Amino acid sequence: MTLNHSISDYTQLLTQLLKKVTADPELKADLVAAQTTFTGGDAIEHSTANSFNEWYLLERSCPILGAPPAVAWAPKNMVKDDIWHCLLDSFFGLFYITSIDDEADIAILECLWSARQVRVNTLPSGLDEGTFIPARVAQSDSESHLLLPSANFIVAPDLLESISHDLRELRGTQPRARLSQLEWHRLFSSQQQALGDSVAQNFDDLLASALDGQEALTVDSVKEMLAEIGVADTLDKIAFDTDLELEPFRLAFSSIEGSDQSSDNSLESDGEGLAEAVAEFLASDSSGALLEDAFDKLETDLELEQGSTGLLSEDSEATGVDEVPGVEMWLRSYLFDSQIAGTEVSSTAGSEIESFLNYCANAADSEHLDPHQLMPSTVLAYMMGSTDLKDLQSKVGHLDDFVMWLANEQDAPLQDIVPLSGTETNSWLQDLIACNSALQSNGVDANSLVDVSCVEPLQTLDDSGLPVAINNFPGDYLGKVLVGDKLMGCWKDGEFAVAAWMPQRLLPAAK
């Protein structure tokens, strides 16, 4: 499948997900309850409706579905790089522009929290390096991401520095913390009052710059227009009455508190109708008629069949976290469960879990491995890849809770080896790593594989079926070797020299 998704594609899918939520009375009530959590009891505003929408559909675990709606309703046979896969793989970040290539129309964004960088080719023109962009990003093509409708563009150096300071303090006191769109909304709300004067002054400076070199308009006259007719009509009036470039004005207006910065900055604005629909529905006490009217208009604008569910099947059922397709969803479900339990997962542990899941997918040659198909041998084989005892303990520390969760919550058949930090499994793994480290120091080539046929004395069989001695196996670990274990090494002078030990517990069961 060719990876090529637009903002319209993502907005269409988010719209259909929200329609499915509001079509169910229980889910509709849950949506309204979630709004109270998101805003702290205040009515939702148009400027934050898209952010709430993405948080509710992609991050917040719905108590009725057992997972966020997008996770619960994901197709069981999801294909890598299709719109569903990319939406579920999207992530929220507090970005700022580090560099802009005007010729290639590409900007590099870096997240203040994770330091992760993304290439984006859908930014409005007129933005400068250092612009602060809280946004959820999703894959656009094989090399680039795009910003989902909740993106904001904030040209306020004081705010950027203040947020950076707060994040540094947060990492110092809560190193396992993980920011979400909900946490960002709360953090930003607390910053707005403190930095209101700075933002207002920044707006004045940007507006004065946009008006430089002409006498038809003044800062005060533009402010009066904004107060009387709003941002969109002010831009239309400037375009009609003057020959001034509009981009500097869009950039200035984007710094006004409460403005819809994603659409005012010339991003594709397919999400605007959806934001209005969410805001109107959650701000009202109606039966949802306003929402249905807004959806009908949005379907027309997006050229969807009236009343259709588009990318969602009518008979689609909530899969719940146990049936979410693809090992990449195991981590996502685990993070949601951890969040509900009040347990934060560190970024280092998350990276280790991702490496482990990639190993599982490669070992099974499938991205759609179900938890019940995960064998203890696969987990132990991954642990065997530790470079030394320190690396092993790091893997155990980062994977222990996750593997326990797979066994206890997802019915993975791992009860015989959990907890990884327990005496039996951990001691066995330490012996394995220490033994193989000692064997590695012998410098023996590993070009042959044999089975252990006898342990006292340690022997294997040659091509004729005759017993052959195995030499150089560390004496401290001879008592751990079992008949049927495999040894890698090479033949030398009629005997077998060992380079690595692979116990039966590491080997997949014969089919």
For 107-119, the pLDDT digits (tens) are 999 988 777 899 9
Report pLDDT for 119. Answer: 93
Q: Mean pLDDT: which of 51-65, 250-264, 276-290, 382-396 is highest?
A: 51-65
Residue range 155-173: average pLDDT? 70
Using DSSP's 3-state secondary structure scheme, residue 102 falls into: coil
Pair type for strands 91-101 and 106-111: antiparallel
Report pLDDT for 150. Answer: 86
With residues binned 3-state (H G I as helix, E B as strand, rest as coil), the percentages for the chain, rounded to 5, are 50, 15, 35
Count the neighbouring beta carbons within 10 Å of the beta carbon of residue 109: 22
Which of 445, 439, 429 has its CA nearest to residue 490? 445
Left if phi > 0, otherwise alpha if psi is -120 to 50, otherwise beta: which for 365? Answer: left
Count the neighbouring beta carbons within 10 Å of the beta carbon of residue 502: 16
Contact (CB, 8 A) for 432 and 392: no
The whole-angstrom separation of Cα 67 and Cα 331 is 13
What are the tokens at 206? 């940007």
Share of the chain above pLDDT 90, in %: 11
pLDDT at 129 over 50: yes
pLDDT at 503 over 80: yes
The whole-angstrom separation of Cα 79 and Cα 84 is 8
Mean of the per-residue pLDDT values for the chain?
A: 77
Count the neighbouring beta carbons within 10 Å of the beta carbon of residue 238: 20
Of the ranges 72-86, 125-139, 289-303, 448-462, which one carries the lowest mean pLDDT score?
289-303
Through-space distance between the first and last CA atoms of the chain, rounded to whole angstroms: 33
The whole-angstrom separation of Cα 471 and Cα 178 is 51
pLDDT at 23 over 50: yes
Share of the chain above pLDDT 70, in %: 76
For 427-477, the pLDDT digits (tens) are 888 888 888 888 887 778 877 888 899 988 999 998 888 999 998 888 888
pLDDT class of 158 with cuts at 50, 70, 90: low
Which of 166, 182, 226, 181 has its CA nearest to residue 200? 226
Count the neighbouring beta carbons within 10 Å of the beta carbon of residue 18: 23
Could you tell me the residue ranges of all domains in the chain? Answer: 7-88+269-318, 94-264, 326-431, 444-506
pLDDT at 190 over 70: no
Report pLDDT for 231. Answer: 77
pLDDT class of 285 with cuts at 50, 70, 90: very low
More confident residue, 54 or 492: 54
Report pLDDT for 272. Answer: 62
Q: Exposed, middle or buried: residue 143 (CB in 10 Å: 0-12, 13-18, 19+)?
A: exposed
Pair type for strands 495-502 and 486-492: antiparallel
For 370-409, the pLDDT digits (tens) are 788 888 888 888 888 888 888 889 999 999 999 999 988 8
pLDDT at 241 over 90: no
Q: Exposed, middle or buried: residue 434 (CB in 10 Å: 0-12, 13-18, 19+)?
A: middle
pLDDT at 135 over 60: yes
**444-506 belongs to CATH 1.10.1060:** no
pLDDT at 228 over 50: yes
Count the neighbouring beta carbons within 10 Å of the beta carbon of residue 24: 13
More confident residue, 505 or 413: 413
Report pLDDT for 270. Answer: 54
How far does CA 376 lie from the centroid of its chain? 27
pLDDT at 208 over 90: no
pLDDT at 313 over 60: no
The whole-angstrom separation of Cα 54 and Cα 70 is 10
Report pLDDT for 254. Answer: 65
CA dihedral 352, 354, 359, 365 (to 10 degrees): 170
pLDDT class of 29 with cuts at 50, 70, 90: confident
Question: Amino acid identity of 15?
Answer: T
